[in-house]
């Protein structure tokens, strides 16, 4: 199920990493672990402590909060940043709807990522802020 191109090239196509140099992409890819997951695999479970950031390269996942589907995510998107940055339990359960190829960063690797490419911090923070705002609006309705 491996996709086309090297990990560096595939990461370069992920919107989060657009505009980074080949050297930065190479440094980032060296921090990551490539996973091939079958459809039905749970990537994150609501309420559990989050220990990794998952970047989707191929396939799709379903995001379920309190038993309700709240989002579908696909290639180029990532999950897990809220739990890593805010040190809070997972806000949703994420399940592979198809076979998925993903890169994973644990907490210390994530810190290394931000140290190696500090310009990513603002993009990750913007995504996190948007997702937290979505959470707040859903819980107040």
Q: Give domain status of residue 129, yes or no.
A: yes
pLDDT beyond 50 at 3: no
- Is 74 domain-assigned? yes
Residue 106 DSSP symbol: E
Question: Is residue 2 assigned to a domain?
Answer: no
Residue 1 located in a structural domain:
no
Q: Residue 59: what pLDDT?
A: 96
The CATH number linked to 37 is: 2.60.120.10
Q: What is the CA radius of gyration of the chain?
A: 15
Per the domain annotation, does 99 fall within a domain? yes
pLDDT at residue 2 is higher than 60:
no
Mean pLDDT for 65-85 is: 88
Comparison of pLDDT for 138 and 87, the residue scoring more? 87
Give the Cα separation of 109 and 114 in Å (integer).
9
Q: How many structural domains is the chain composed of?
A: 1
Q: What is the pTM of this model?
A: 0.78
- Kindly state whether residue 36 falls inside one of the protein's structural domains: yes
Give the pLDDT confidence of 127-141 residue by residue, as tens digits: 777 877 877 776 665
Would you say 64 and 95 are in contact if contact means Cβ atoms under 8 Å apart? yes
């Amino acid at each position: 199920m491996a996709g086309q191109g090297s990990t560096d090239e595939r990461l370069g196509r992920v919107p989060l990493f657009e505009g980074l140099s080949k050297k930065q992409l190479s440094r980032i890819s060296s921090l990551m672990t490539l996973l091939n997951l079958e459809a039905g695999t749970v990537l994150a479970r609501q309420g559990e402590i989050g220990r990794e950031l998952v970047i989707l390269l191929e396939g799709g996942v379903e995001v379920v909060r309190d038993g309700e589907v709240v989002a579908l995510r696909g290639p180029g998107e990532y999950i897990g940043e809220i739990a890593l940055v805010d040190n809070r339990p997972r806000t949703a359960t994420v399940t592979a709807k198809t076979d998925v190829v993903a890169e994973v960063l644990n907490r210390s690797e994530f810190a290394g990522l931000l140290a190696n490419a500090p310009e990513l911090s603002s993009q990750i923070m913007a995504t996190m802020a948007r997702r937290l705002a979505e959470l707040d609006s859903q819980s107040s309705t």
